[in-house]
Structure 1
Amino acid sequence: MTTVRRSAAALAVTAVIGTALASVAAPAAVAAPTPSPSTAALPPGLYGKGDPAYDGVWRQSLALLALDTEGVKPATAAVDWLTGQQCDNGAFPSYRADAKGDCAAKLPLDSNATAAAVQALAALEGQDESVRKSVDWLKSVQNTDGGWSYNPGGASDANSTAVVIGALTAAGEKPTAVKSKGGKSPYDALLTFARPCGGANGGAFVYQPAMPGLVGDSTAAAVIGAQGKGLAAKPADDRGKDPQGTVCKPATTIEGAAHNGGAYLTTALAKTGYLTTPPMPGAEDPTEKPDFGNTADAVVALHVQGLGEQAKKSLAWLEADSAGWAKESGPAAYAQLIFAANAADTDPEEFGGKNLVTELTALGPEPQQEEKDDSGIAVWWIVGAFFAASVGVGILFSGRRKNQS
């Protein structure tokens, strides 16, 4: 899910569309969280300086997860800020300014934020209890069709269902075994968002059947989810090219639908290398704009699907043109670029002349440092050297015993 969908402006668009499509029952998706403090009063453990009202938990989770993929151990304050947002029932809101005590009864709970937090906390050490509580809550709000909505009580959508699949996998669950009261799995739900071949969106996954939304966004998310992977997805070591190529074919399984989703993204990216987003309602400029976040997600999706060759042009475009977007958009944007670089086996520390890891790290509290003794030598190195020496001595003694026998 791109950072665009986490912004207040995007939620306003959702509200407009939702009003026009009265059949879509998702009023909770645009409910405002608790008022946020001024940016000057933001807690020191939070990544980014922008208003966290709609994306606090989301951007924190992506930042921690991305840094973990690069071996950066986050500050305790950063992890504590995230776990402090969790409600007693295990859910996370988009953000709550007052994290003392339990969440307010009327505070909207956010399946996307919860699923992202699970993926981040599962990657860190010592957070098993928080992860378990969140997974239990996600299971408790699974819809009858097997999917999830942005906020509990709404209709399932492709993005929410996909990001929850990633959370289940990160927590050691098997998504196929997580069944709703109607006996449906998340993949059953995901399949309902797949469009048949042919037409403008042939092969794509729509956000909801009655609310197509940003189809590139929902398709990238669904392709990743269909493979049982999460936000920081990397192709399996043994995964080669998609044997079906890039042609959309009739599909009745989630595997076939994922292939078609990859074929759709290939076509959508072929001309320019990037996806686009429509202008805001009432905007003076009616032209579509490049969508950096969704393009980064599409790069991950294509590599997961075995279509890495088809993502090269998009990755090169991101390396050349994404720096300004990332700087303006903040932590989640840097995280998405790091995920794209990793999926493509590209070094995020040398991404278009930028060090994404350093720039993301600078947006939050100082990471934990390796413990060093007074001489400046890392403790872990001393322990490792001692262990290696011990093994060597053991082998020497073993050899002597054999020679003496």
Structure 2
Amino acid sequence: MLTAARLGATALAGLLLAGAAAAPALADTPAPSPVTPPAALYGKGDPTYDGVWRQSLALTALASAKVVPAPAAVDWLTGQQCADGGWPSFRASTAQACDPKTEDSNATAVALQALTALGGHQDAVAKGIGWLKANQNADGSWAYNPGNPGDANSTGLAVTALTAAHTDPASVAKAGRTAWDGLAAFQLGCTAPADGRGAFAYQPAPDGTLAGNDLATAQAALAAAGGALPVTTTDRLDAAPAALACPAGSTEKTVPHAQSAEAAGAYLVARLGANGQHLMLTMPGAQPTADLNATSWAVLALIRSGHPHQAAAAADWLAGNGYTWAAKGKNGTDPAAAATLLMVAEAAKLDPYNFGGTNLVQLLLDAGPAAAKTPAAAASAASANPDGTKAPGSGITEADDNGGFSPIWLVGVGLLVGIGGGLMISLNRRRQAAAAAAAPAGDAPADEPTRDDVQS
């Protein structure tokens, strides 16, 4: 059986949701002994499968919150880069050369975005972009590990890395197929059923058909919208995302790039609305559960594409249900989850120091080495509530002092109550924990470093 941790955030979720079997073939490989994380790394769990992933997301999120991280934390990430420019998920000894087969497009993509957000790492970024170009597939896509078929998640992450590094995806091509072409190959067009149009599949089925995958759609939609981590936007549209226009009898299987982000956004809005403003994770043999990771990426994609109004209710759902996912994993704080929620809070213009009751900034700070510099707001929040910032997993502000409602949500709360009281955020921490306990503990599978915890 493929291990959740080995596949990594995006790859794992795509495989589980799509029922695919095209990933690194390690079915019979015995699990290695757990590795103790180095002091410079965020999180207490074994970093073997997600070290670079979680470090990159943590550094990106902290940069968005105006935190200057510990130099050791940044040095650890740059030290993980291989000589050819790529990053593996983790390497315990940087004295040994990397095995190219273990280099990981997902880890490379988020590392590039972290170093770009931090600034001052042009040489490492240039080498990383060179690695992405060298390992692009002939159809324009990227695989999780080089030499495998591409997938929408890995391609979306690669495109966001190119965008972050100011490299036009249209200029990155292999065998005449650009990065946009590679991404477009996974999106469902007018030949798909109406409720699936605009979605992205993780990978095509053996017969070439595509089935929508929510996480793949969310991560690919961010790329299609020209976004990168951390997410910011100045283009705010009043209208909902435009669904793909399909004239009667249309035989168009692909979606033009100009319509890609809007079509994906329309699909995500419909999926969020159908599930109480969150997305669901379905694993073989298990009951569907709330997928906080995919929901977070959907919020980021919608905000980047200019639709914060349509993302507001989902952002507030995350504020009300994200604490257990971020703070109560097997090893305490899950830095990838906490960082993802911090980026959601920043993008949605919510209070990151009181996100549904959780001080996300302090939660993440407590999970890693002491920061070199924190903004005045962080010190003020910690001073106002010293009992809420003592250790990983306890970064909680007073439940009755909730700043985790978006202005858009407050304006529309009367209407939303009519639609369903389930969208309201519980301000009681115990109720939050109970509600979130039903959610996946990680980038969505279990507590082990998975893509729920890791999920790109």
Q: Fold-level match, TM-score > 0.5?
A: yes
Higher normalized contact order (CA 8 Å, seq sep 6+, divided by chain length): 2
User: Residue 91 in 1 paired to residue 86 in 2?
Assistant: yes
- The 2-side partners of 1:174 and 1:8 are apart by 26
Tell me the equivalent position of 2:198: 203
- The 1-side partners of 2:27 and 2:121 are apart by 30
> After superposition, what is the alpha-carbon deviation per residue over 1:217-249, rounded to whole angstroms, capped at 9, x for unaligned?
0111111101221132222x134245x744332
- The 2-side partners of 1:190 and 1:257 are apart by 10
Report SS of the residue matched to 2:102. coil
- The 2-side partners of 1:261 and 1:10 are apart by 17
Report SS of the residue matched to 2:328. helix
User: Residue 162 in 1 paired to residue 168 in 2?
Assistant: no
> After superposition, what is the alpha-carbon deviation per residue over 1:329-362, rounded to whole angstroms, capped at 9, x for unaligned?
5011011111211221222122112111110111
User: Residue 119 in 1 paired to residue 113 in 2?
Assistant: yes
Q: Displacement, 1:82?
A: 0.8
70-79 vs 347-356, greater mean Cα deviation: 347-356
Determine if contact 1:33/1:95 at 8 Å carries over to the other structure: no
Determine if contact 2:170/2:180 at 8 Å carries over to the other structure: yes
Residues 99-118 of structure 1 mapped to structure 2, 5 A cutoff: 99-103=94-98, 105=99, 108-118=102-112
Q: Displacement, 1:91?
A: 0.9
User: Residue 172 in 1 paired to residue 175 in 2?
Assistant: no
> After superposition, what is the alpha-carbon deviation per residue over 1:15-63, rounded to whole angstroms, capped at 9, x for unaligned?
7899x757x5x43588979946443xx2100000111111110000000
Question: Closer, same or farther in 2 for the Cα pair 1:102/1:112, shift >3 Å?
Answer: same
Question: Closer, same or farther in 2 for the Cα pair 1:175/1:109, shift >3 Å?
Answer: same
Tell me the equivalent position of 2:409: none
Runs (5+) with no aligned partner, structure 2: 247-253, 375-456
Tell me the equivalent position of 2:39: 44
Question: Closer, same or farther in 2 for the Cα pair 1:213/1:94, shift >3 Å?
Answer: farther
- The 1-side partners of 2:225 and 2:8 are apart by 30
Paired letter, 2:132 = L
Tell me the equivalent position of 1:191: 184
Question: Closer, same or farther in 2 for the Cα pair 1:343/1:328, shift >3 Å?
Answer: same
Determine if contact 1:148/1:160 at 8 Å carries over to the other structure: yes
User: Residue 266 in 1 paired to residue 261 in 2?
Assistant: no
Residues 203-352 of structure 1 mapped to structure 2, 5 A cutoff: 203-210=198-205, 215-235=213-233, 237-241=234-238, 245-250=241-246, 252-271=255-274, 272-279=276-283, 281-282=284-285, 286-329=286-329, 330-352=334-356
Tell me the equivalent position of 1:395: none
Paired letter, 1:216 = D
User: Residue 354 in 1 paired to residue 350 in 2?
Assistant: no
What is the TM-score when the length of structure 2 is the normalising length? 0.71
RMSD: 2.8
- The 2-side partners of 1:31 and 1:266 are apart by 40
Q: Displacement, 1:12?
A: 7.0
Residues 66-85 of structure 1 mapped to structure 2, 5 A cutoff: 66-85=61-80
Tell me the equivalent position of 2:48: 53
- The 2-side partners of 1:167 and 1:229 are apart by 9
Paired letter, 1:340 = V
Q: Displacement, 1:306?
A: 2.3
Tell me the equivalent position of 1:397: none
Paired letter, 1:158 = A
Question: Closer, same or farther in 2 for the Cα pair 1:218/1:16, shift >3 Å?
Answer: closer
Paired letter, 2:173 = K
Report SS of the residue matched to 2:129. helix
Report SS of the residue matched to 2:353. helix
Q: Displacement, 1:320?
A: 0.8
Paired letter, 2:290 = P
- The 1-side partners of 2:223 and 2:360 are apart by 25
Q: Displacement, 1:208?
A: 1.1
Paired letter, 2:157 = V
- The 2-side partners of 1:214 and 1:170 are apart by 26
Question: Closer, same or farther in 2 for the Cα pair 1:36/1:109, shift >3 Å?
Answer: farther
> After superposition, what is the alpha-carbon deviation per residue over 1:259-288, rounded to whole angstroms, capped at 9, x for unaligned?
111111011010311101113x45xxx421
Determine if contact 2:188/2:212 at 8 Å carries over to the other structure: no
Determine if contact 2:63/2:118 at 8 Å carries over to the other structure: yes
What is the TM-score when the length of structure 1 is the normalising length? 0.80
Report SS of the residue matched to 2:280. strand
Tell me the equivalent position of 2:129: 135
User: Residue 27 in 1 paired to residue 63 in 2?
Assistant: no
- The 1-side partners of 2:146 and 2:176 are apart by 19
Paired letter, 2:350 = T
202-211 vs 158-167, greater mean Cα deviation: 202-211
Report SS of the residue matched to 1:43. coil
- The 1-side partners of 2:141 and 2:9 are apart by 25
How many residues are aligned here?
354
Paired letter, 1:274 = H
The answer to which structure has the higher helix fraction is: 1
91-100 vs 197-206, greater mean Cα deviation: 197-206
Paired letter, 1:365 = P
- The 2-side partners of 1:34 and 1:100 are apart by 23
- The 2-side partners of 1:214 and 1:50 are apart by 32
Runs (5+) with no aligned partner, structure 1: 371-405
Tell me the equivalent position of 1:393: none
